[in-house]
Amino acid sequence: MAERLTSEPVALLARGTLDRAVFDSLTARLDVHPGVAAEVDDMAIMRLLAREDAGLAVLALIVVATELAAGSRASKPSSMCL
């Protein structure tokens, strides 16, 4: 997973959100420096970016539940725990 974070663009929530803080903490511990494609203020925009293949996106499962249930994404979600 860490290799993908450096080889593909990543869409992230804006700094100041809990999800972004967790992501930043994880990448710092792994000494990974992702290429940030976009920083946005809400999950709906993140979902749209992911749908348009703008890069990897860190999303809550609830945000993409409809797409996953319909099988509209080629890859399955990844889970990472701190």
Domains of the chain: 2-70 (3.40.190.10)
Amino acid at 22: V
pLDDT at residue 1, rounded to an integer:
66
- The per-residue DSSP string of 53-77 comes to T-SEE---HHHHHHHHHHT-SSSPP
pLDDT at residue 77, rounded to an integer:
52
For residues 69 and 82, give the distance between their C-alpha atoms in angstroms, rounded to a whole number.
Answer: 26
pLDDT at residue 53, rounded to an integer:
84
pLDDT tens sequence for the chain (82 residues): 678 888 889 999 999 999 899 999 999 999 999 999 999 998 889 888 888 888 888 887 887 777 778 776 555 555 443 3
